[in-house]
């Protein structure tokens, strides 16, 4: 008989470390992954309401700012459309 033991290492939640990572992150994908990690921990009751709200305050303004910046860049990168002439 053979048994396979799977070990999963769960990173402990350090609020100050997570907040620092959220404030220093400029990559929207990594920031969103951090937010998903926080939500998963909250859903599993690994963190409480206080930690969840603190992380929300650290992450969401940065996500919003990065999204606004991305939209502004996308709008300026679009080539100007040639004006169409009206036929008489």
Segment 21-66, tens digit of pLDDT: 988 888 888 988 999 999 999 999 999 999 999 999 999 888 888 8
Q: What is the pTM of this model?
A: 0.65
Within-domain flag for 82: no
Within-domain flag for 86: no
Give the residue numbers spanning the domain of 59.
26-71
Within-domain flag for 46: yes
Rounded to whole angstroms, the Cα distance separating 74 from 77 reads 5
Quick one: pLDDT at residue 83?
Answer: 63
Within-domain flag for 84: no
Quick one: pLDDT at residue 49?
Answer: 95
Question: Is-contact 34 22, C-beta < 8 A?
Answer: yes
Q: Which helix (H) or strand (E) holds 19?
A: helix 15-24
Quote the number of domains for the chain: 1
Q: How many of the other CB atoms lie within 10 Å of CB of 52? A: 15
Q: Identify which of 25, 5, 40, 27 has the alpha carbon closest to the alpha carbon of residue 13.
A: 40
Within-domain flag for 12: no
Within-domain flag for 43: yes
Tell me how many degrees the CA angle 72-18-5 measures, rounded to the nearest 5: 120
Using DSSP's 3-state secondary structure scheme, residue 1 falls into coil
Within-domain flag for 37: yes
Within-domain flag for 56: yes
């Amino acid at each position: 008989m053979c048994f396979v033991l799977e070990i999963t290492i769960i990173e402990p939640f350090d609020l100050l470390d997570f907040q620092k990572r959220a404030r220093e992150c400029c990559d929207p994908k990594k920031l969103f992954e951090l937010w998903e990690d926080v939500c998963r921990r909250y859903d599993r009751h690994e963190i409480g309401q206080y930690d969840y709200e603190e992380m929300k305050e650290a992450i969401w303004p940065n996500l919003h700012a990065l999204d606004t910046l991305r939209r502004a860049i996308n709008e300026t990168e679009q080539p100007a459309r040639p004006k169409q002439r009206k036929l008489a």
